[in-house]
Amino acid sequence: MFGITGRTTGMAIAALLIGFSVTANAGDARYASLGDTTRSPIGWIEFCADNPADCRGAATQARDIVITQTAWKDLLRVNRWVNETIKPMTDQDHWGVVEKWSLPDDGYGDCEDYVLLKRKMLIDAGWPREALLITVVRDKKGDGHAVLTVKTDKGEYVLDNQNENVVSWTETGYRFVKRQSQSNPNVWVSLGDNRPAVATASAR
């Protein structure tokens, strides 16, 4: 995957599918306020131009994951593995630019790069794209930050490079700005805080 493919394989990522199922439109949306469509985050369009396979999307039906004990353990494993394996580095130090979204193929990245890898690993293992939503938030300091929201029958959970645990979105202490639509990965939905938020503030 990025020079550590053997370690990824050794993690037996295919085991993610055991005891895992999905359901269409399970429960009501649990975000405080789902708004209108909004502009994609800075860096997303450029990422898609460089990685079209990761941005393929057409209108599909929203699907939520039915959380089983195995699925939950595997979410924890993916979150911790990526957090421990990728080394934090800002885009400025890494690429010489303020903002660049990329898969951390060289083992370095900032918050959105952690998210992209977690999302890719889960999708490659068979998890539905519609339940894995890149999300832009404001962290506890008010800075822009990116996390991965996992939509489940028990609510929305967050995979975050600043937290080894997977927690409910309500337990993050973050203000949610925008996220991908479940029905189309290239459509972004406002979540209430409409101020611009560049997700570059913290690598970890």
Q: Where are the domains of the chain?
A: 5-190
Structural fold of domain 5-190:
C8orf32 fold (3.10.620)
pLDDT-based confidence at 1, cuts 50/70/90?
very low
Taking residues 56-73, report their average pLDDT.
85
Tell me the CA distances in angstroms from 28 to 159, 160, 170, 171, one per residue in order.
Answer: 21, 23, 15, 19
Give the tens place of pLDDT for each residue, 36-59.
899 999 999 999 999 998 888 776
CA atoms within 13 A on the CB side of 97: 10
Q: What is the per-residue pLDDT for 130?
A: 93
Give the tens place of pLDDT for each residue, 155-175.
999 999 999 999 999 999 999
Prediction pTM value: 0.80
Give the tens place of pLDDT for each residue, 75-122.
999 999 999 999 999 999 999 999 999 999 999 999 999 999 999 999
